[in-house]
Structure 1
Amino acid sequence: MRRWLGMPITAALALTACVTINVYFPAAEAKEAAKEFVEKVIGEEGTTPAPGQDEGKPGGGMALRFDPLMLIGISPAHAQTTPDITIKTPAIQAIQSRMASRFDGTLRKHFDAGALGFSNSGEVSVRDAAKIPLGDRVAVNQAVAEQNRDAKAVYREIAVANNHPEWEAQIRSVFARQWVASARSGWWYQDAGGAWKQK
């Protein structure tokens, strides 16, 4: 009888040992990578957290999880892989260089004037076209389009470079918050609902 009672526990442990390896999105590492990338593009250190970011709140990054593999002596380090987020590939650095050059050459003065802002999707948006001199509008619109093309490309490239293309949306979300966090005082940004606010 005792032998049969032990069977369900043994079966449960055996099933647990066959769990698929989980790879959790490394939120804290992504945030650090985004901060490094964004600050090189806009050329200043931003330390103010983005509105709605709970930096000090427990569980803001990765949640602690009970891992049943611990019951049979398999370390979670072997069962879960939490890679660092790399932004040091030639493709990513080339995009970063283009974005920084474009930001300094064309976009910064229009952020300062209040014409441009950071959208809640991690891109640049023309917030108030009337604040862009008529003779500059074509160049500014082109620079905005190119900056957004590069932003989309870099979110995808970071996900692919880290062997997790499925992370693209999460990387975009982390970057969207970081653009706001690194923005200068007086610049405009969209909140989660799409309303424009001034930092």
Structure 2
Amino acid sequence: MRKLTCIVLTMLAIALVGCVTINVYFPEAAAQKAADQFIGTVLDGSGPKTSSTADKSAPAPDNPPPARQPSAMLLDLLVPAAQAADVPNLRVQTPAVQAIHDRMRVRFQSSLQALLDSGAVGFTHDGMVAMRDAAKVPLSERAQANATVADENRDRAALYREIANANNHPEWEAQIRATFAQTWIEHARTGWYYQDASGAWLRK
């Protein structure tokens, strides 16, 4: 009888594992928070620099979590990631991200801000920048302006890719880019240009 019980429990465990689907959803709220912090410090220089959205310093809850049922504990042992996979954190603080941040901050202060203020350059709908009206840049400075745009776009592409890879989800890159694209536009200052979803230029 005891042997039969063990067999039944083993079969039940196998069935449970077969039924569990681990879905790691893109952490949209965490990505939005990361974008706000990153872009805010690049454009405004205010607040903390890039940091992980995982709140590791949060105080411990006053009440301990309720005891888990044996069946749930068994499932956690069988599929350790199942419990945590539903609400993933987003890792943002890496040496590569910090280096990109620092380059973008210096570039913004030295050249990109003036190009945005003049209307020569604007934010695109896909998280990049583009030359909107080259005539607003003196002919002698256009080569440097184009180099600034190219360098900025190179860093932005690297940023989105690095955040996705740092979280072991390269497939998130497009979603991270989309989140940052919207946030760049939200942080745009009055008078700056940006593209709508169709690619048309609008002035904030």
Report the residue type matching 1:36 in the other structure. Q
- How much identity, in percent, do the aligned residues show? 53
1:116 match:
121
SS at structure 2 position matched to 1:86: coil
Alpha-carbon contact 1:44-1:182 (below 8 Å) kept = no
Task: Please state how far the C-alpha of 1:77 moved relative to its aligned partner.
Answer: 6.9
Q: Distance in 1 between matches of 2:133 and 2:37?
A: 29
Q: How many residues were matched structurally?
A: 163
> What do the CA deviations read for 1:39-94 (whole angstroms, capped 9, x no partner)?
1111267xxxxxxxxxxxxxxxxxxxxxxxxxx85699716342222221111000
1:137 match:
142
What pairs with 1:106-185 in structure 2 (closer than 5 Å)? 106-185=111-190
What pairs with 1:79-90 in structure 2 (closer than 5 Å)? 80-90=85-95
Q: Distance in 1 between matches of 2:29 and 2:164?
A: 15
Q: What is the root-mean-square deviation in Å for CA atoms of aligned residues?
A: 2.3
Q: Distance in 2 between matches of 1:29 and 1:87?
A: 10
Runs of 4+, deviation exceeding 4 Å: 72-77
Q: Which has the larger radius of gyration?
A: 2
Report the residue type matching 1:126 in the other structure. M
User: Residues 81 and 156 (structure 1 numbering): CA distance in 2 closer, same or farther, change over 3 Å?
Assistant: same
Contiguous gaps of at least 5 residues in structure 2: 1-11, 47-70
2:37 match:
36
Q: Distance in 2 between matches of 1:185 and 1:113?
A: 12
